[in-house]
Amino acid sequence: MLVAPLDANTLAKIANGICDNLLTCVIRAWDMTKPLLFCPAMNTAMWEHTITAEQIQRLKGFGYTEIPCVVKKLVCGDEGRGAMAEVWTIVEKVKMIFSERELPTQR
């Protein structure tokens, strides 16, 4: 599973076990033998908040793989860390995870 983008609200829900919508319910029921990757994306102030770091660590503790956000101009107009990783970066990470786990990448 790939969650891209993962906003601050959904990050908080997943980190705290809240499943009140389809995505959070699917993640809660996810087969932990299968990879789950997430791409955080949020305002720089949200990204830099202590709570965000704690929640990211909690997801990593569950065995999920982070594809880190990047620095660039955000939708809100700020420039800083918090933008979702570039699509090519995400694709390469997914391919790498599939390769490491010897999962099929083509049909």
| Active centre residues (catalytic) | 76
β-bridge partners, 38: 3, 66
Contact 23, 30 (CB under 8 A): no
Between the CA of residue 101 and those of 2, 45, 59, what are the distances in Å? Answer: 15, 36, 20
Other CB atoms within 10 Å distance of the CB of residue 9: 11
